[in-house]
Amino acid sequence: MSAAAGVIGPNAVLQHAAVIRRHGGEARLAALMAAAALDRLPTGDAMIPEAEAAALHRALRTAPDAEALEREAGTATADYILAHRIPAAVQRLLKALPAPLAAPMLSRAIARNAWTFAGSGSFERRTSWTFALRDNPLVRGETSVMPLCVWHAAVFERLYRVLVAPDCRCRETACAATGAAECRFEISRGRGAQASR
């Protein structure tokens, strides 16, 4: 599933901006936006060009605390989704179900709404615990020795922790920026054992 016209949800930028403000104030946010060649933040009421989000993510990755900031922004994005996009009744249902039943429901919902965070990339739900994103616009053209999609992983992890089981972890096990064919995200439980259902 992919979005046409290269657009992505505004939270790919807005939640990062809020985190930067908390950790460096308006001056740091202004510097980051200048580095990304952005002259204003999105309003939040419409999809935005994925190139703008990619530029902000790329600029942020040069910061020494980039990983922590990306993780915090991903968690905040998931919290926004929980507060504004998933009905309370659905959340109560998922929380009441055992993890092997809640995970398939949540993973299908994530796949149905992938256009909001995958941009023009192609998102696939492989299992209830594994996702793949091909041609991820937020790392397109990037080169790294380490996976770069901390924001995506943090969004998935927070949603699974709240709605499936509090011991869920999400790890990016392959990243296009490292030369892999896709960015792959795997959810596990407990001490890191791969969940299989």
How many domains, in total, are found in the chain?
1
CA angle 160, 80, 46 (to 5 degrees): 125
Q: Give the pLDDT confidence score for residue 5 in this predicted structure.
A: 65
Q: Mind giving me the DSSP string for 123-189?
A: EEEEETTEEEEET-TTTTT---SS---HHHHHHHHHHHHHHT-TTEEEEEEE-GGGT-SSEEEEEEE
Q: Give the pLDDT confidence score for residue 139 in this predicted structure.
A: 98
Packed helices 66-84 and 50-60: angle between N→C axes, nearest 10 degrees: 140
Q: Give the pLDDT confidence score for residue 188 in this predicted structure.
A: 98
Nearest to 187 by CA among 109, 102, 108, 130: 130
Range of the domain at 170: 4-194
Residue 159 is part of a domain; what is its CATH number?
Answer: 3.90.1520.10
Q: Give the pLDDT confidence score for residue 2 in this predicted structure.
A: 44
- Residues facing residue 169 across a β-bridge: 188
Q: Give the pLDDT confidence score for residue 4 in this predicted structure.
A: 53
Q: Give the pLDDT confidence score for residue 1 in this predicted structure.
A: 41
pLDDT along the chain (197 residues), means of 10: 73 97 96 97 96 97 97 98 96 98 98 95 98 98 97 98 98 98 97 44
